[in-house]
Amino acid sequence: MTDVTTRAEQRLSSRDGAIGRRDRRKEDDRLLQGAGRYVGDVGPSRVLEMAVGRCPFPHARIKSIDVRPALEVPGVFQVLTGDEVRARSGPIGLLRPDFDAPPLPSYGLADGKATYEGQGVVSVVATTRHIAEDAVQLVDIDYEVLPHVTDLELALDADAPVIHPEVMSSNLLSIKEFGRGDVEARLREAHASVEARYVINRVSALPMEPRAVLAEWQPGARELTVHASTQVPHLVRRQLADVLGLPESLVRVVARDVGGGFGLKLGVYPEDVLVSLHAISLRRPVRFLEDRNEHFRASTHARQAAHDYRMGVDASGRILAMEDVYTNDLGAANSAFGSSQQSTIVFSGPYRVTDGRVERRVAVTNKTPAGAYRGFGQPEVNFACERTVDRVARRLGMDPVDFRLRNMLRPDELPWTNPVGSYYDSGDYPSSLRMASSAVDYDGHKSRPRRQPDGRYRGIGFSAYVERTGVGAPKADEESGALFGAHESVTLRANWAGGLDLYSGVSSFGQGSETVFAQMCSQLTGVPYEDVVVHAGDTNAAPTNTGGFASRTVIAAAGAIERGAQEFTDRVRRLGSNALRTDADAVELVDGAVRVIDEPDRSISLRSIFRMAILGERLPPGESPGLEVTSYFSPSHAAYAFGTAAAVVNVDAETGEFEVERIVMVHDSGVAINPMLVEGQVVGGIVQALGAAVGEELVYDEETGQLLNGTMMDYFAPLAPDIPRIQVISTEVPSPVTPLGVRGAGESGTIPVAAALANAICNALDEFAVELDRLPITPEQVWRAVQAARAL
Amino acid sequence: MTQIWPSPGGALPAAPDEPRAPVSLEVNGLRVAGEVPVRLSAADFLRHDLGLTGTHVGCEQGVCGMCTVIVDGKAIKSCLMLAVQLDGRSVRTVESLAGGESLSPLQAAFKEEHALQCGYCTPAFLMTATALETCPRRLSREEIREEIAGVMCRCTGYEGIVAAVERRLRERGVGVDD
């Protein structure tokens, strides 16, 4: 029941070419036939299966391991322990280190000590997964259980057990401040201020395909081919070569089809190292297919944080200062991307605030490492900021929409740099809020009683956001701290049949990049869409790139395709005009041919030109044979997407139960290459956010340090009947800082939903003055908030 | 024709002392017969022994629904069935839908409605919807959502999937009550 209004579509439908069309996806035909090639479907002969024995305790010293009973099982080939892994491979490096943080130990298996439940302690390779798992059960491991701490607040107490005493004196890993102006002075001057703590739940990205990796070693050639379910094949290649001590030239990473990523499949995981070590020493292909119970414990968690947010306003309702002091819960070790640093970047939302400060802290606890998840810090800080905005409006007795409009940056104030240096390029924030307000008839709602005939209370809440999409290249004099660049790249290669092969390191994990790359390439080269074939995710074929995350792919790839297409078509014109015996500027490229502008009957087909180039025949003097271009592009800036979500709820004040009646999201992703795919991304993000807002939470028992709900039976991600009516409204303000005016679209949906829902419930229960400050929002939490408010 | 497994490139032999049992069944219109380890799940049997890798595995405990196939006309989760329980039954998997390179009307509806992104859950939704095509009565939109609640999707938010199933049921005359 999605209603979609797309202004972009109307505007772009008049434009010639593939950009802006709702082309059906190139990926679909194979996936619909069950012919996708996920890692589990890639089957070289003689492949062996790996299972991992995992520590059942949150914190334990490994006193001894006896692997002999496992080795006696028929069908078992090899067992590795931490010592052996340590001797054969180096530490797993980070791609995105936290500021000033000491390196935490991270190897393929626990090195003498395990620091979270689920950490790998032993790996077994056998002919089948059944046998490998049987054998894992027979490995005799003697643990000395150590004191643990899984609660974020307790972990920072002075008497908490220090998890990494060899490199840290407390569990505080990193602390960094950002900001501008004098927040304390502004807050002292403030007419009113609000301070609150917001607690964000720990969740799983939960892709439907768990992690999967298959390594094949070719002796003699010393070449390691790794099929990985990853969003970043080139980064995995580099990291893996580094950990294994192999020349990077000898590592090939292939990610054909990836069954969902959402940030969870970024960089090297311990099992990637293990299958490689086994494959190299056994000289047999070895595969690891993570099962779902392992997934909950060994794949990165996300989001958990505590935000202490402060905001001060003057008597007219103008925001004077904002401050966010937040602590991310990293878990026990680093993942490739680490904790969510992005909360800092958009902490001030779409508001005009000159004095602002952020303090970002990262703590370690005895839990599964946290990593990236769609939105990566931005949904978390949006909840803190937008809940505080509603609180301040209530304190002032102002309508929350009016309060937002008073403080939102207007289009003529952009570009604008927020207090932590984020450069908001362009946009129309107030319009998006007004559109959302009008779509849910907020004015009508205000004029009616909250209490409905059925006794429930109806509420409408809003959340406005700006979102950093893409990554700008570091300036000449700065380092980003990340160990990857901002660039994307493509190779465009003409073939004998008249088609164009496009090679990219961006793997296909659902985002539709094969389709949108082909659309951009077709429009910019003149080669028909059907004749452009995208070859994705093979490091042996694709030029080095960065990968699919941070809503960055289309922004960076658009630049690479634009540059490549320019060079490609320049050459095509030179070759074509030479064959037509005229000048390059006297010809045009239309309908798969080069033709003389003044004499449309004189033309030569692209296929003929491609063949001439491949044969090296009839070339103009100085022109080299072949027709192939590789181009790179780094965007100068990130583009800031923006929008507003509105939620409509009905709440039972007696039980705390609530029904989400409707979610409206007005969003702007700049120029849409394929509006159908943009809408698909936004809706998918909204539903993931809905799950995290009202149902999903990874719960640890502080006493035992165990994950209590690490199975699909106990972790409640949304199913089809759980989805309310969703309406997506797209606006289109082209970004002035990106190629083609695009902004990223992959993460927007995840950002404003939780705050809009919480604000809607608080709006419904206005008469009780209820405030919600933790996720997920459950009926119990709502009921307790009502009881607390009544007690006042 | 009777296909004997393991097919080329199929699974490696299990442990020599592992208990096995004979099974004989029909898969996508073909007779297959052979022996399987008694603890082998139907999903693993289809994927590894018969090479039908379009059926995916996501949780192995009957929640996520990635492994949904049709057994004797009903959509079932093949991770919760043992291969030996398929004896004497008729199984349909996603590989049976398309004719050569041309998509079936149901698959075409999924493509048209952008009902898939990463594609991992897609075969399961297709088989669930295939079983629905023979539903003897009209379904409401809410009922369609309930009918497909056995399969999880993390990409699409279900909107495209519901639209595609509705489109196909209308075409089939099973229809949808608005």
Q: Is the pLDDT of residue A125 over 50?
A: yes
- Cβ distance of B93 and A34 shorter than 8 Å: yes
Quote the minimal CA–CA distance from A26 to chain B in Å: 10
pLDDT at A260 (0 to 100): 98
Q: Are A634 and A562 in contact, with CB atoms under 8 Å apart?
A: no
Q: Give A262's contacts in chain B (Cβ within 8 Å).
A: 154
Q: Give the pLDDT confidence score for residue A415 in this predicted structure.
A: 97
Residue of chain A minimizing CA distance to B155: A684
Q: Is the predicted pLDDT of residue A478 greater than 90, yes or no?
A: no
Mean pLDDT of chain A: 95
Three-class SS state of A14: coil
| 8 Å CB contact between A264 and A115 | no
Q: A510, B118: Cβ pair inside 8 Å?
A: yes
**Span A512-531, average pLDDT:** 95
Amino acid A64: pLDDT: 98
Return the structure tokens found at B112. Answer: 């048209």
Nearest to residue A198, comparing CAs of A105, A107, A49, A305?
A: A305
User: What's the one-letter identity of residue B170?
Assistant: R
Of residues A25, A206, A726, nearest to B159 (C-beta): A726
Residues of A in contact with B45 (CB under 8 A): none
> In B, which residues are within 8 Å of A73 by CB distance?
15
Distance CA A633, CA A490 (A): 9
How far apart (Å, rounded) are the C-alpha atoms in residues A785 and A773? 10
Q: Does the CB of B38 have a partner CB in chain A at under 8 Å?
A: no
- With CB atoms and an 8 Å threshold, state whether A208 touches B152: yes
* Nearest CB partner across the interface for A676, out of B57, B114, B155: B114
* Lowest pLDDT segment from A370-374, A477-481, A570-574, A663-667: A477-481
What average pLDDT does the segment A408-419 reach? Answer: 98
Amino acid at A86: R
Confidence category of residue A53, pLDDT binned at 50, 70, 90: very high
Distance from CA of A231 to the nearest CA of B (A): 12
Helix (H) or strand (E) holding A567: helix A553-579
SS3 (DSSP) at B170: helix
C-alpha torsion A743→A744→A749→A750, nearest 10: -130
Residue A732 to residues A561, A642, A646, A729, A750: CA-CA distances in angstroms? 22, 10, 19, 10, 19
Q: Suggest the residue from A23, A31, A750 to mutate for an interface test with chain B (most B CBs closer than 10 A).
A: A31
Mean pLDDT value of segment A52-66: 98
* A262-272 mean pLDDT: 97
List the structure tokens of A89: 């491979």
Token pair in block for residue A530: 């059907």
The predicted-structure confidence for A748-771, as pLDDT tens digits, reads as follows 999 999 999 999 999 999 999 999
- Interface check for B37 against chain A (CB to CB < 8 A): the answer is yes
- Position A38 scores a pLDDT of 98
| B61 to A712: CB separation less than 8 angstroms, yes or no | yes
Distance from CA of A503 to the nearest CA of B (A): 19
Q: Determine the pLDDT at residue B86.
A: 98
- What is chain A's alpha carbon radius of gyration, rounded to the nearest angstrom? 28
Cβ-contact A663, A683 below 8 angstroms? no
Q: Are A19 and A673 in contact (CB under 8 A)?
A: yes
Contact B158 A720 (CB under 8 A): yes
Question: For position A592, what pLDDT does the model report?
Answer: 87
pLDDT tops 50 at residue A13 = no
pLDDT 10s digits, A200-257: 999 999 999 999 999 999 999 999 999 999 999 999 999 999 999 999 999 999 999 9
User: Contact, A20 vs A8, CB < 8 A?
Assistant: yes
Using the predicted structure, report yes or no on whether residue B163 has a pLDDT greater than 90.
Answer: yes
Amino acid (1-letter code) at residue B107: Q
Phi/psi for A763 (5° steps) reads: -65, -40
Largest interatomic CA distance in chain B: 58
Q: What's phi and psi for A94, nearest 5 deg?
A: -95, 150
Contacts of A276 (CB under 8 A, 6+ apart): A215, A217, A224, A226, A240, A244
Report the alpha-carbon distance of residue A224 to residue A237 in Å, rounded: 10
Closest CA to A22 of A511, A746, A519, A676: A676
Closest CA to A161 of A29, A32, A58: A58
Per-residue pLDDT tens over the stretch A703-752: 999 999 999 999 999 999 999 999 999 999 999 999 999 999 999 999 99
Confidence of residue A674 (pLDDT cuts 50, 70, 90): very high
Among A1, A48, A260, select the one facing B120 at the smallest CB separation: A260
Q: Is A788 helix (H, G, I), strand (E, B) or coil?
A: helix
Q: Is the pLDDT of residue A777 over 70?
A: yes
For residue B10, name the pLDDT band (cuts at 50, 70, 90). very low
Give tens-digit pLDDT for A188-205. 999 999 999 999 999 999
Residue A10 has what pLDDT? 37
Q: Is A449 exposed, middle or buried (0-12, 13-18, 19+ CB in 10 A)?
A: exposed
- Statement: the pTM of the whole predicted model exceeds 0.90: yes
Greatest mean pLDDT among A356-370, A479-493, A544-558 lies in A356-370
* Structural contact between residues A349 and A319, judged by C-beta atoms closer than 8 angstroms: no
Shortest alpha-carbon distance between residue B1 and chain A (Å):
23
CB contact under 8 A, A292 and B120: no
Range 110-129 of B in CB contact (< 8 A) with A: 110-112, 114, 116-123, 126
Distance CA A484, CA A539 (A): 16
Which of B149, B68, B178 has its CA nearest to residue A721?
Answer: B149
Best interface-test mutation with A: which of B20, B63, B117, B166 has the largest number of A CBs within 10 A? B117
Instruction: State percent of chain A over pLDDT 70.
Output: 98
Q: CA nearest A3 in B: which residue?
A: B159
Dist. CA A506–CA A256, nearest whole Å:
10
Task: Check residue A546 and give its pLDDT.
Answer: 94
The alpha carbon dihedral of A182, A188, A191, A193 has a sign of positive
Q: Is the dihedral of CA A184, A186, A192, A195 positive or negative?
A: negative
Beta strands A192-200 and A305-313, pairing class: antiparallel
